[in-house]
Structure 1
Amino acid sequence: MRVTIAGAGNVGRSIATELTENGHQVLLIEKDPHAFKTDSVPGAEWLLADACELSSLEEAGLESCDVSIAATGDDKANLVHALLAKTEFSVPRTVGRVNHPRNEWMFDDEWGVDVAVSTPRLMSALVEEAVAVGDLVRLLTFRQSNTDLVEMTLPADSPCIGRRVGDLEWPADAVLVAVIRDGRAMAPEREGALEGGDELLFVTAQEDESALARMLAPKLGDID
């Protein structure tokens, strides 16, 4: 897979290192000569250019990329790069880094962003996930499909404990994708039973989240 990363700061270089180690072709685009540290990711290609300029992206051969990642520390630059990658070069998949939560609403398909990654949101979600049992925590939003990746640690009094996964009727647009038990991730099996303390990961439509939460951990006011 060929991947272009706009921005060779700490975030961009870290992503590039992971991708090159996994065998992907990576091109880092950076306009600041002081951040142009080719020795930091020797397995990647480097281009000293402005990732928001059409001529730079033509030089980079962006039309041949499978994924373009906008990873600069400037939300405006990330949006412009994603829009150019999608509309001018038809890059199949774009990822945009959100630096400031107040800008998150702009990182959608209208700006050419397929996946928005908000570090502040992920950090707050991980904090919630670490302390909350019986609460549904939104980890990630898939903009194009209006669905979320959500997590719940099953409380000891959940009515789903002891029941087989195959016997549970989830809300229409909720899919159980993984069960984490004793620190180990497992694919859900129809014959497997849920246990207290299981961490359940779902991909679900946003409108089904409340129903899913009530099913897994009904509050006192939800019980008829």
Structure 2
Amino acid sequence: MRVAIAGAGNVGRAIARELLDNGHQVLLIDKDPKALKLESVPDAEWLMADACEITSLDNAHLNTCQVLVAATGDDKANLVTSLLGKTEYGVPRVVARINHPKNEWLFDSSWGVDVAVSTPRIIAALVEEAVSVGDVVRLFSFKKGQANLVELTLPDGSSCIGKTVEEIELPEDAALAAIVRDGRVITAKAHDVFAAGDELLFVASSDAEARIKSCFITS
């Protein structure tokens, strides 16, 4: 898979190294000569250019990329790059970094963004997930499909303990993706039995998310 990353700062380079380690081709784009630290990611392609300009993206052959990551420190630049990548080059998957939470509402499909990543929101969700038992915690939002990845840790008094997966009727537009138990990830099957302390991972719409708790926790 060929991945273009706009923004060769610490974030962009870290993403590039991870992707290269996983066997992908990576192109790093940045207009600042000081950001072109070729020795830091020697296996990547490098291009000194402004990712907000069509000519630069032509030179990057963006039409050959399966993924575009807009990872600069400027939200405006990330939005423009995302929009150009999606509308002008038809990049199948566009991932954009949100630097300032107040701009989060802009990062959606109208700007070509499939997945928006907000570091403050992720950290807050992980904190909630670590301390919340019996509450539904949103971990991540999939902008393209208007769905969320949510987590629920079963407390000792959960009404579903001892019941099987097929015995629990979930809301429409909600699916149990996995059960995390004793550090192991279990693909949820119909005859799996719920136990106290299970971390349940769901993919759900926002409306269904609000109703998941009532399926597992009785007041």
Same fold (TM over 0.5): yes
What letter corresponds to residue 125 of structure 2 in structure 1? A
- In the TM superposition, 1:43-122 aligns within 5 A as 43-122=43-122
Match of 1:16 in 2: 16
Length, aligned pairs only: 219
Local SS of the residue matching 1:140: strand
TM superposition shift of 1:23: 0.7
Contact 2:150 2:203 in 1 (8 A): yes
- In the TM superposition, 1:179-190 aligns within 5 A as 179-190=179-190
Contact 2:70 2:78 in 1 (8 A): yes
Structure 1 distance, partners of 2:136, 2:33, is 45
What letter corresponds to residue 208 of structure 1 in structure 2? A
How big is the alpha-carbon RMSD for the aligned residues of Structure 1 and Structure 2?
A: 0.8
- Please report the TM-score for the alignment, with normalisation by the length of structure 1: 0.96
1:215 is the counterpart of 2:215: yes
TM superposition shift of 1:189: 1.6
Structure 2 distance, partners of 1:133, 1:217, is 11
Structure 2 distance, partners of 1:160, 1:73, is 45
Contact 2:168 2:215 in 1 (8 A): no
TM superposition shift of 1:208: 1.0
Structure 2 distance, partners of 1:110, 1:169, is 35
TM superposition shift of 1:215: 1.5
TM superposition shift of 1:148: 0.7
TM superposition shift of 1:203: 0.2
Match of 1:192 in 2: 192
Structure 1 distance, partners of 2:217, 2:28, is 46
TM superposition shift of 1:185: 1.0
1:145-202: CA deviation from partner (whole Å, max 9, x where unpaired): 2211100111111101110112211111110001000111111121110111100000
What letter corresponds to residue 157 of structure 1 in structure 2? G
Match of 1:156 in 2: 156
- Please report the TM-score for the alignment, with normalisation by the length of structure 2: 0.98
Structure 1 distance, partners of 2:196, 2:113, is 38
Which sits farther off after the overlay, 75-84 or 205-214? 205-214
TM superposition shift of 1:144: 2.2
TM superposition shift of 1:217: 2.0
TM superposition shift of 1:24: 0.5
1:97-123: CA deviation from partner (whole Å, max 9, x where unpaired): 011111110000000001111111000
What letter corresponds to residue 90 of structure 1 in structure 2? G
Match of 2:38 in 1: 38
What letter corresponds to residue 140 of structure 1 in structure 2? F
1:132 is the counterpart of 2:132: yes
1:125-157: CA deviation from partner (whole Å, max 9, x where unpaired): 000001110110001111122211100111111
Structure 2 distance, partners of 1:216, 1:35, is 50
What letter corresponds to residue 35 of structure 2 in structure 1? A
Q: Where does the alignment leave 5 or more consecutive residues of structure 2 unmatched?
A: none
Local SS of the residue matching 2:178: strand
Structure 2 distance, partners of 1:75, 1:94, is 14
Structure 1 distance, partners of 2:185, 2:5, is 30
What letter corresponds to residue 183 of structure 2 in structure 1? G
1:40-75: CA deviation from partner (whole Å, max 9, x where unpaired): 111110001111111110000001110000011111
